[in-house]
Structure 1
Amino acid sequence: MGSSLLLAGALGFSSSASAAYPDHAIRLVVGFSAGGTTDVVARIVGKEIGDALGQPVVVENRPGAGSNIATEMVARADPDGYTLYMVAVTSAINQTLYKNLRFNLVEDFSPVALAVRVPNVLVVNPKVPVNSVKELVDYAKANPGKLNFASSGSGTSIHMAGELFKQLADIDVTHIPYKGSSPATTDLIGGQVDYMFDNMPSAWPHVEADKLRALAVTTADRSKTAPNLPTMQESGFPSFDVSSWFGVIAPKGTPDDIVTKLNEAILAALAKPEVQQRLEDLGAVPAKTTPAEFGDFIKSEVESWAKVVTASGATVD
């Protein structure tokens, strides 16, 4: 009898705690440095979650190991709804790229919601004497081994886009990985690297400021942000279709009612015209899913990127 009462009390406390959620600040962890696309999207979405739930959402940047440090940290956090993760396509790629991960993206998290999809854009330092994808390929072939391309880290979609381009164009270029899109872009602007496939939100302001030159977007369709910019497919690579995505996940075991509250807050935010406009101005396309739909999406992304990683031969121990 005593144990039954104790169990009932514990269940009652749990239910009450969930009902009161949130009663203090929520931490939204980002696996990359401040200023990159993951960080930008996290701050937009985080503010809206905080406004909807009445508690501040604090974005915490934990860059390193292609975002795996942050991912593992959140996987091991208490499943109470107060530690969330802004997951990116990178994590789906890492599941195959890294051989000794101490977490499983599909099994160790509670999916909350997909937030946005983001096209990548091929940008070059303005001093590189090219104005189109074809000219870049021709220049690289005329100067084998001399060009290098940056990425936000080994195994990111930005890196994989670069490797795919290298394979399809059959060019001899060198990959230079960085700890995030922001430092990579800084060196690209400074001329330390020659080109990169960056996310549209972080790259486009530099294009508009004439600090970078855009050659093409990586999605099958042109971007609303840059309707005059051709796609990689239009530029001679008919199979090229790469995009990034960002969403919110929580540690496995986070109560369903808390996950539902967070999902509803994100969907409400994405339904706001001003939020949609801000995201679209950055080149991001809002996406809306249930937690279950996002879980299925993550699983399919892990499976599809496994094929790309395997074909590229890339691996990290």
Structure 2
Amino acid sequence: MNFRSPTFTRRACVAALLCALPVTQALAQSAWPTKQPIRLIVPAPAGGASDMIARTVAESIRHDLKQAVIVENKPGAGGIISVETMLGAPRDGYMLVLSPNSLVTENPYSYSFRYDPFKDLAPIAEVASVPLVLVADPKLPVKNVADVVAYVKAHPGKISYASYSPGTLSHIKGMQFNKAAGLDMEHVGYKGSPPALTDVMGGQIQFMFDGMGTALPLAKTGKIRPLAVTSAARSPFMPDVPTLAEAGYPNLTQIMGTSVWSTPDVPADIRNRMRQLLLKAVASAEVKSQLAALGMDAGNPAQTEAELQTMLKTENERTGKALKAMNYKP
């Protein structure tokens, strides 16, 4: 009996390869992450609030995946350096950005981006939120917001306030406070909270609106004096510190969120898996406890991606209106 081997034409081979390609891609995506460490790029220096959030979240993901998760600090330029680092990398889910939401809600009004923050970036999940705290050099004779107003007016043209970066909520709150209270404090921008707080403690700068995470440990040791928080209610981490609304400035109420972003063209299954890892992290008692120790609240696991995107666009518009009302020039 004779057996004839099947004949494969070139067209049939090509067709077979094309049919197999989606399966190969799916297998590669489902294997994520196995080939290299995941990198969380943070547009802030080591020791800042964003850095502390990133390291807390990274440890949770590392535990779940049994995979290396590396936090890389690339501060400056309103997050541009961090984002462009991610945009220049393969879109395979191994490089993400963890940043305050100011990355898209505030920084576009202060920096010239070569990318569209709402088209070229896609938020995965919000992982933390925190109010800002108006803090002062503890050597100053001020105990509350009214004292600040009186002190600044008694020293016209001589008082400065710091921000952890120009154009961020830290800067905007100072501008809004200046306008609302009729003050003339001069803004001094820094690259992150640690160097700004160092100058507040040293007396080179008198005041600052800083995130609770970096302000809390210094306030506890008396190195800075907290005067008011920007949240709607008093913070459980500083229960004796009044809100700005209590001090007579309700329009300055606002909290700062921190989220994780990828590019929108990262495969959907990888984005979804990372989102589930992040939501599991912020829902865990361990992460909540670690963030609470830093004066922060964990993100809301029930928040959808669509809700987060809508919130970010709303905050962007709110910031634009606030800056326009103050004739802000970057």
Same fold (TM over 0.5): yes
State the one-letter code of the partner of 1:304.
R
What residue is the counterpart of 2:7 in the other structure? none
Q: Distance in 1 between matches of 2:18 and 2:156?
A: 69
Q: Shift in Å at residue 252 of structure 1?
A: 2.3
1:93 and 2:133 matched: no
For normalisation by structure 1, the TM-score amounts to 0.95
Aligned residue for 2:252, secondary structure, equals coil
Q: Is the 1:118–1:283 Cα contact (8 Å) retained in structure 2? A: yes
1:175 to 164, 187, 196: 187
Out of 215, 235, 240, the position equivalent to 1:203 is 215
CA distance in 2, matches of 1:47, 1:295: 26
1:310 aligns with 2:310: no
User: Which runs of structure 2 are paired with 1:198-277 in the superposition (5 Å)?
Assistant: 198-277=210-289
User: In the TM superposition, what is the alpha-carbon distance from 1:199 to its structure 2 partner?
Assistant: 0.2
Question: What is the SS of the residue equivalent to 1:216?
Answer: strand
Asked if the contact 1:97/1:314 (under 8 Å) is kept, the reply is no
| Cα distance change, pair 83–127 in 1 and its aligned pair in 2 (3 A) | same
Deviation at 1:129, TM superposition (A): 1.1
Q: If the length of structure 2 is used for normalisation, what is the TM-score?
A: 0.91
Give deviations 1:225-269, integer Å, cap 9, x for gaps. 111210001011122212211010112201111111111111111
Paired AA for residue 109 in structure 2: T
Q: 1:7: which partner in 2?
A: 18
1: CA distance, partners of 2:51 / 2:326: 27
Match of 1:295 in 2: 309
The alpha carbon displacement at 1:4 in A equals 4.0
What do the CA deviations read for 1:129-177 (whole angstroms, capped 9, x no partner)?
1000000001101111111001111011111111111111110111010
What secondary structure, in the 3-state scheme, does the structure 2 residue paired with 1:239 have?
Answer: helix
Taking structure 1 as reference, are residues 148 and 80 closer, same or farther at Cα in structure 2, changes over 3 Å only?
A: same
Report if aligned partners of 1:89, 1:157 keep a CA contact under 8 Å in 2: no
Question: Does the Cα contact within 8 Å between 1:111 and 1:250 map onto a contact in 2?
Answer: yes
Aligned to 1:16: 27
**d(CA) in 2 for partners of 1:307, 1:73:** 30
Percent identity over the alignment is 38
CA distance 1:224–1:4, shift in 2 (3 Å): farther
Counterpart code for 2:250: P
Deviations 1:4-43 (A, max 9, x none): 4443333222211111011121000001111111111111
Structure 1 residues 235 and 54 mapped into 2: Cα distance closer, same or farther (>3 Å)? same
Q: C-alpha separation between the residues in 2 aligned to 1:6 and 1:110? A: 32
Name the Cα RMSD after superposition: 1.5
**Change in CA separation of 1:295 and 1:4 when aligned onto 2, cut-off 3 Å:** farther
Segments of 5+ residues of structure 2 without an aligned counterpart are 1-10
- Partners of 1:220 and 1:240 within 8 A in 2: no
Between the aligned partners of 1:122 and 1:45, the Cα distance in structure 2 is: 27
- Show CA shifts across 1:59-79 (max 9, x none): 000111122211222233221
